[in-house]
Amino acid sequence: MMEPFRKNTGDVLQTIHAGLSPYVGKLMARTAAEAHCRELGFYGSALDRQQIDILLQKIRLGLVIFLGKEKTDAVVQEMQSAISRLGETH
Partner 1 sequence: MSRPRALLFWLALALPVAFFTGQALAPEASLYTQPVLLYWMGAVPKLAFGALAVLVGIFVTSRFEPDNPSRLAWWLWTAGCLGTWVGQAILAVYFATRGEIAVFPSVADPFFVAGSLALAASLFAFVRVTIRSGFTPLNATHRWVIGLGAAVLSTLLVLPVLWPVLETSAPALEKFLLLAYPALDLLMLVPALLLLRLTASLWGGRVWTVWALLAGGILCNAAGDILFSYFSGLGKTQLEALIDIAFLLGYGLFAAGVIHQRDLLAG
**What does each C-alpha distance from 77 to 41, 48, 74, 85 come to in angstroms?**
23, 17, 5, 13
| 8 Å CB contact between 24 and 32 | yes
CA angle 69/61/15 to nearest 5° reads 95
Among 3, 43, 50, 70, binds partner 1 (CB under 8 A): 70
Q: How far is the CB of 12 from partner 1 (least distance, A)?
A: 18
Part of the chain binding partner 1 (CB under 8 A), chosen from 3-11, 47-55, 65-73, 77-85: 65-73
Work out whether 80 is an interface residue with partner 1 (CB under 8 A).
no
Nearer to partner 1, 74 or 88 (CB): 74
Give the footprint of partner 1 on this chain (CB under 8 A): 21-29, 31-32, 36, 58, 61-71
